[in-house]
């Protein structure tokens, strides 16, 4: 496939219930939990915007209206800040507000898996390539993960999946790809296996939650039978699509934090706090003291 149309749209599947973070997520969407002072979803959206994404598509569910509110003007707050001449706060909020008409929201009425969530965005995406970013995963590196993927896509066309390396004995926990010829900052994918049996993985490169996919994935997902967990699995759909279109892997070199898990969420808060010049001086010493006290 030689189609290299620009990737303009990004899909964010934010309908999950966040059961690993109960009781907090009984009332607050997991995507709105804060890493330092920004919601997790803001980090992921920032990554998309850095990569040149022009339209943000959120696949939501019941009780997720606060995400839509977050990406809108809060009239009372805006008015109060202006009356009090809070210029820094006004500038901060203006900086994260998407331009009018560049965000869309659609519902996934039933929790039928990632593949189903992607399919729910089909009419908003249309007949063009799109990015897919899992909102639990936030990444820190010299270059944004999706930006690097877009650069690779401009060389390879087709579909692009971001991967990282894990310990070989941990490969059975992840979706793993087979390694083909090198291309740019990655390689051609020869196969995809979801959680291979121990000792059978084709490599130790695992899929980390970032994708660029062609629209031909939608009719495949529409007909896709339920797989693991009785859900419509995106990986199953990508395996079928790989029979007709090439897949490339972008090797992301940086730090990834799974903020859908308690340990990843805590580590993300520590890492991003220590990166902030206004916060590090007041937390670095106490953190060192705390670690020392645990020895």
How does pLDDT run across 111-165, given as a tens digit for each residue? Answer: 788 999 999 999 999 999 999 999 999 999 889 999 999 999 999 999 999 999 9
Give the residue numbers spanning the domain of 142: 9-260
Residue 188 lies in a domain: yes
| pLDDT tens-place string over residues 33-80 | 999 999 999 999 999 999 999 999 999 988 889 999 999 999 999 999
Query: What is d(CA 264, CA 256) in angstroms, rounded to the nearest whole number?
Result: 9
Residue 281 lies in a domain: no
Residue 288 lies in a domain: no
Residue 104 lies in a domain: yes
Residue 53 lies in a domain: yes
- Two tokens at 287? 């953190």
What lies within 8 Å, CB to CB, of 166 at 6+ separation is 173, 174, 204, 206
Residue 159 lies in a domain: yes
Q: What's the total number of domains in the chain?
A: 1
Tell me what the pLDDT averaged over the chain comes to: 91
Q: Specify the CATH number for the domain of residue 249.
A: 3.90.550.10
Residue 278 lies in a domain: no
Is the overall model pTM greater than 0.75, yes or no?
Answer: yes
> Residue 114: which of 247, 224, 251, 233 has the closest Cα?
233
Residue 293 lies in a domain: no
Categorize the per-residue pLDDT at 109 as very low, low, confident or very high, splitting at 50, 70 and 90.
confident
Give residue 279's Cα distance to chain centre: 26
52 burial via Cβ count (<10 Å: 0-12, 13-18, 19+): middle
Categorize the per-residue pLDDT at 173 as very low, low, confident or very high, splitting at 50, 70 and 90.
confident
């Amino acid at each position: 496939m030689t189609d290299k149309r620009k990737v303009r749209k990004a899909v964010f599947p934010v309908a999950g219930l966040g059961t690993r973070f109960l009781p907090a997520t009984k009332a607050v969407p997991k995507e709105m939990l804060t890493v330092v002072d920004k919601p997790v979803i803001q980090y992921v959206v920032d990554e998309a915007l850095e990569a040149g994404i022009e339209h943000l598509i959120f696949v939501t569910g019941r009780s997720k209206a606060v995400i839509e509110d977050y990406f809108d003007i809060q009239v009372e707050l805006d008015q109060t800040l202006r009356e009090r001449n809070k210029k820094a706060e006004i500038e901060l909020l203006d900086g994260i507000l998407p331009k009018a008409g560049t965000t869309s929201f659609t519902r996934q009425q039933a929790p039928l898996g990632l593949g189903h969530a992607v399919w729910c965005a089909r009419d908003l995406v249309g007949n063009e390539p799109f990015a897919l970013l899992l909102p639990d995963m936030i990444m820190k590196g010299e270059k944004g993960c999706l930006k690097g993927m877009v650069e690779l896509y401009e060389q390879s066309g087709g579909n692009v999946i971001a991967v990282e390396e894990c310990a070989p004995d941990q490969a059975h926990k992840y979706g793993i790809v087979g390694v083909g010829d090198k291309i740019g900052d990655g390689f051609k994918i020869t196969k995809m296996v979801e959680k291979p049996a121990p000792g059978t993985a084709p490599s130790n490169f695992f899929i980390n939650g970032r994708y660029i996919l062609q629209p031909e994935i939608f009719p495949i997902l529409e007909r896709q039978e339920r797989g693991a967990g009785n859900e419509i699995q995106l990986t199953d759909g990508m395996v079928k699509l790989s029979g007709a279109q090439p897949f490339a892997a972008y090797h992301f070199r940086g730090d990834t934090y799974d903020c859908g898990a308690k340990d990843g969420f805590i580590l993300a808060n520590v890492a991003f706090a220590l990166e902030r010049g206004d916060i590090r001086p007041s937390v670095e010493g106490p953190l060192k003291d705390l670690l020392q006290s645990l020895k």
